[in-house]
Amino acid sequence: MDEIEIVCPACNDPLYIPAEEYDELVEGDVMECENCGAALEFLSLEPLEVVVVEGGEDAFFVDCPRCGTPIEVEEEGEPVTCPECGYAFTPDWSEVEEEEEA
Ligand SMILES: [Zn+2]
Ligand SMILES: [Zn+2]
């Protein structure tokens, strides 16, 4: 049985969809990434294009540089404050997310 490989834009891990399931997909369908839980919408099937419509459970996390607590980051470029130790910092997005603009 063939499988279609999709790379989750949220976690960059590959997802495999059985070809028979893939055949039933239509544009606008939403599936959940098995790896990170993000909701992925199929914008287009040919070429295959998926976007994250909802952050997964571990959408974007950075580790607090002071105490190592993972902190959820909601907005790119926003400073965050560690709930554990109160340390405030702005995450280095180059490590969190790859640049999308060419
Ligand atoms: Zn994912
Ligand atoms: Zn901390």
Residue ranges covered by each domain of the chain = 3-54, 61-96
- What letter would DSSP give residue 49? E
User: Which ligand sits nearest to residue 62's alpha carbon?
Assistant: 2
Q: State in Å: Cα 86 to ligand 2 middle.
A: 6
Q: What single letter denotes the amino acid at residue 26?
A: V
Q: State in Å: Cα 51 to ligand 1 middle.
A: 11
Q: State in Å: Cα 97 to ligand 2 middle.
A: 21
Look at residue 98 and tell me whether its pLDDT is greater than 80.
no
Which position has the token pair 């959940």?
A: 32
3-54 — its CATH code? 2.20.28.160
Q: How confident is the model at residue 38, as a pLDDT?
A: 86
* pLDDT tens digits, one per residue of 25-36: 999 999 989 888
* pLDDT tens digits, one per residue of 34-91: 888 888 999 999 898 999 886 555 456 788 999 998 887 777 778 889 999 999 998 8
List residues, by chain if needed, whose CB lies under 5 Å from ion ligand 2: 64, 66-67, 69, 82, 84-85, 87
User: Which ligand sits nearest to residue 67's alpha carbon?
Assistant: 2
Q: Cα–Cα distance between 26 and 76 in angstroms, integer?
A: 31
User: Which ligand sits nearest to residue 66's alpha carbon?
Assistant: 2
Q: What single letter denotes the amino acid at residue 90?
A: T
Q: How confident is the model at residue 3, as a pLDDT?
A: 93
